[in-house]
Structure 1
Amino acid sequence: MEQKTKNRLLIAGFLSVLFIAYQFSFTKTFAICTEVSKLEDEKEKYLSAPMQLATLTKKERQLDAVLSKNNVEGSSLQHNLLKTLNTLSNTSDIKVIAFEEPHEYNNETTKEGVITYDFILQGDYKGLIEVIYDLEQQYSFGNIAQINFEKKKNFRTGATYLQCRVLLQRLN
């Protein structure tokens, strides 16, 4: 055999040994390494869970103290409106997406004030109309000043849904 042929066989043998070593040992090592890093991340999350739970319970106690101090148990109209919206959402398969702070306008010449509640509901058209009708007629929280229906699409899931922005006004 010539030297040139020996060199080619040596290079081909070396490359085949590298390929076999990669297939049998290196790929398994890389897979185990990524699995170990995932398990370590889960371990860190698991170990930090009691600390997060403690901070959340502390925050809950603090918020409960603020609520009891301000006596928000049932006296405010905003609280009653939100409670009514939640009960209506359970019965008619809608969701309360947002409930903004009420806007107050006081007219100095007539000494009248108007409070406007702004909230967004999501669901089917029939359920939204039923909830709006109940709010205005049955529960008499005030007059519906504006309703804005908007069809939106969730691009992750490809689903379309209907949102309704409601402005409810009440005179003081």
Structure 2
Amino acid sequence: MNSKTKNIIAVSGFCIALFLCYRFAVSNTLNYRSTYRSLKKEVTLFRDIPEQLAVLTRKEAYYDSLQHSFRIAETSFQNNLLRAVNSAAGTYGFKVIDFNEPHRFKADNLQKNSYSLTVEGSFMSLLKLLHHLEQETKFGEIIHCSLEKKKDYKTRQARLQAQIIIQHME
């Protein structure tokens, strides 16, 4: 055997040894490393779950408080409006005389509902009601309010009645 053949056998043996080392050791190490990295990412995701749960709980509490502050329930819009007017009647000292069915019409691809109600009380209580309906309860905009002074001839007292129309768009 001459030196050229020995060198060829040595180089080919070295290449075969490198291939076997890669096949049985290095490739497994690289696979384990990629598995380790993916598991490490999952661990960080699982560590973030309590924080995400806390954030979602805070969001739920916030939305529940909004629902409670705007007095939105599972009932109809008309019932919610009537409930708000009745609670304001107890607070501001006026009487609800009439609450009519809503007038529904469609304009500009929007469903518009107009709710008409008649209340009786002092000027300040009616003014507080108007402010309460438009600013605090967010039921819609007040598109019409007419005040009329009526005299009761039996008791000889004057009363102030307000005809209010609230428009809500869906």
CA drift at 1:111: 1.6
Q: Flag as ranges the 4+ runs of structure 1 deviating above 2 A.
A: none
| Residues 74 and 80 in structure 1, CA contact (< 8 A), matched pair in contact too | no
Tell me the equivalent position of 2:105. Answer: 105
Tell me the equivalent position of 2:168. Answer: 170
Please give the alpha-carbon distance, in whole angstroms, between the structure 2 residues aligned to 1:93 and 1:138: 18
Please give the alpha-carbon distance, in whole angstroms, between the structure 2 residues aligned to 1:129 and 1:141: 16
Which structure 1 residue ranges, 5 or more long, are not aligned?
A: 1-72
Please give the alpha-carbon distance, in whole angstroms, between the structure 2 residues aligned to 1:82 and 1:91: 14
Please give the alpha-carbon distance, in whole angstroms, between the structure 2 residues aligned to 1:85 and 1:128: 11
| Residues 97 and 120 in structure 1, CA contact (< 8 A), matched pair in contact too | yes
Tell me the equivalent position of 2:136. Answer: 138
Tell me the equivalent position of 1:85. Answer: 85
Matched position secondary structure for 1:140:
coil
Once the two structures are superposed, residues 120-141 of structure 1 have per-residue CA deviations (whole angstroms, 9 ceiling, x without a partner) of 0100000000011010000000
CA drift at 1:74: 4.5
Paired letter, 2:96: V
Please give the alpha-carbon distance, in whole angstroms, between the structure 1 residues aligned to 2:154 and 2:169: 42
Matched position secondary structure for 2:90:
helix
Please give the alpha-carbon distance, in whole angstroms, between the structure 2 residues aligned to 1:113 and 1:76: 15
CA drift at 1:75: 1.4
Paired letter, 2:122: D
Alignment of 1:19-168 (within 5 A): 74-107=74-107, 110-168=108-166
Which structure 2 residue ranges, 5 or more long, are not aligned?
A: 1-72
Tell me the equivalent position of 2:29. Answer: none
Paired letter, 1:99: F
Structure whose alpha-carbon radius of gyration is higher: 2
Cα RMSD between the aligned structures?
1.1
Once the two structures are superposed, residues 70-125 of structure 1 have per-residue CA deviations (whole angstroms, 9 ceiling, x without a partner) of xxx85101001101111100111100000000000113xx3211100000010000
Please give the alpha-carbon distance, in whole angstroms, between the structure 1 residues aligned to 2:103 and 2:138: 19
| Residues 104 and 116 in structure 1, CA contact (< 8 A), matched pair in contact too | yes
Please give the alpha-carbon distance, in whole angstroms, between the structure 1 residues aligned to 2:151 and 2:110: 41
- Between Structure 1 and Structure 2, how many residues are aligned? 98
Matched position secondary structure for 1:157:
coil
Matched position secondary structure for 2:160:
strand
Please give the alpha-carbon distance, in whole angstroms, between the structure 2 residues aligned to 1:162 and 1:98: 14
